[in-house]
Amino acid sequence: MYFLFHSFRDERSGQLRGFSIDLVNAVCQEADKYREIIWDFYENCWDSETGMAAHGGQGLLGRWYDGCTGINWRDLTNLTVGFLDGWLTDDTCLSMYYDITGFSRSNARHYQTLEALTRAIASGEVDCGFMFYIEPLKTDLQVLTAGGLEDKCSKSSSSIMTRPDNKLTLWWNEAFQRIRDNGVYQKVCDDVKINHVKYRKGHAPPPRPE
């Protein structure tokens, strides 16, 4: 078993690493564009607060950067539900799951970090949490959703989020399509399990693709 990191700070080098970083580098190299990748709080890219519609954060709308990467059980009556600020899995998204009934936004609680949300669930501060499945949580929390639960929180999968007036939109999609066509994107995907995956004991990483 393994879990991958879309983006993280390497503890040894201090550098940003992960699939999202590799993808940005590959697309920008294909488009011959300068890039500067920074690490910031989730809510500065995508902000979600209790009872309010999720929206672009102050960092994105304030032009601190051009775009943000990575931007994707049955009856909850009288139960409090925890959410992570800055994630697509907010209370608006939960309302899209019509087979999950009884949820009231008055019972929503938002937390700044995964650790804070985990502690809130473990201590009983909230009855459950709603978020994208994160492998490390399996050791500390009980996963209630059935396997293969449809993702209704994002249109497709992880994307680059930017402002409508940003020039990034003029070249990103074309460059991304080119690296899909020439095999670079496939190599980035193949290298994920080699470069950015943490394996549990007893599970060896797969061989590097030829």
Residue 46 carries which DSSP code?
A: E
pLDDT, one tens digit per residue, over 109-149 is 888 777 888 888 888 888 888 776 566 565 666 666 655 56
pLDDT, one tens digit per residue, over 33-51 is 998 888 888 778 877 666 6
pTM over 0.75: no
Cβ-based neighbour number of residue 91 at 10 Å:
23
Give residue 18's identity as a one-letter amino acid code.
Answer: G
Ordered DSSP codes for 36-98: ------GGGTEE--TTS--EE-HHHHTTSSSEES-----B-TT--EEEETTSS-SHHHHTT-T
Domains of the chain: 2-67+161-199 (3.40.190), 72-139 (no CATH)
